[in-house]
Amino acid sequence: PVLYVLNGPNLNLLGVREPEVYGRETLADVQARCERAAGDATVVFRQTNHEGELIDQVQEARDKADALVINPAGYGHTSVALLDALKTLTIPIVECHLSNPAARERFRHRSYVSAVAAGVVSGFGPVSYELAVQAALGLAQERSR
C-alpha cells in the first residue's frame, strides 16, 4: 500500500517553532517515525506552506494513494478549498495534529478537515503521526479485503 502524509504551513519549522507547544523534534524526525510506523507500506511524505500546493498534493493522492494522513496546520481552520479537495477522495483520511487544538484558542476548535476524516489524532506530539499512520493503514487494509 501507498500512504500519503501531507503537512501544511509552518511545519517545516518544527523543532524551532514554539517548541513549548510543538516539541523539539524536526519534521525529518517525524517523517522517520512515519516510515517506521508504516512498516512495508510506501510513505510519500510532503510539506508545503502554500494552500494551492497542498490542494495539488491532495489531488495527486486521488490516484496514487491507498490512504491519507494530513496535518493541515493553520489551513485546517480556514480552508474550504482544502475541504473540497479532500471531498474528492474515496480513500480513508486521518487528520493529525501534534498539539490538541480543542484545548487551545477558540479559533482552533473548528476544523474543516474533520468533516471528511475517518478520525482525528491530536495532542500526542510526534506520536500523533505514528498513531495516525497505523489507523490509516488499518482502514486501507480493511477496505482492500
Please give the residue ranges that form the binding site for ligand DQA (CB under 6 A): 10, 71, 73-74, 97-99, 101, 108
Quote the CA–CA distance of 17 and 26 in Å, as a whole number. 10
Which residues lie below 8 Å from residue 142, measured CB to CB, with a gap of 6+? none
Characterise 31 by phi-psi region: left (phi > 0), alpha (psi -120 to 50), beta (else): alpha
The nearest distance, CB 141 to ligand DQA, in angstroms, is: 26
Residue 108 in marked binding region:
yes
What gap in Å lies between CA 125 and CA 21, rounded to an integer?
9
CB nearer to ligand DQA: pick between 134 and 141: 134
Minimum CB distance to ligand DQA, residue 101 (Å): 5
Q: Which is nearer to ligand DQA, 92 or 101 (CB)?
A: 101
* Distance in angstroms (rounded) separating the CA atoms of residues 43 and 133: 9
The answer to whether the Cα torsion of 20, 26, 31, 33 is positive or negative is negative
Distance CA(105)–CA(108), nearest Å, equals 6
Catalytic residue among 4, 50, 75, 97: 97
Q: Per the residue annotation, which of 22, 75, 112, 129 is the catalytic one?
A: 22
Residue 66 or 72 having the CB closest to ligand DQA: 72
The distance of closest approach from Cβ of residue 108 to ligand DQA in the complex, given in angstroms and rounded to an integer, is 4
Q: Which is nearer to ligand DQA, 66 or 101 (CB)?
A: 101
- 98: annotated binding-site residue? yes
Among this protein's residues, is 22 annotated catalytic?
yes
Q: Is 97 a catalytic residue?
A: yes
Nearest to 71 by CA among 20, 1, 128: 128
Known binding residues for substrate are 71, 77, 84, 98-99, 108
Active site residues: 22, 97
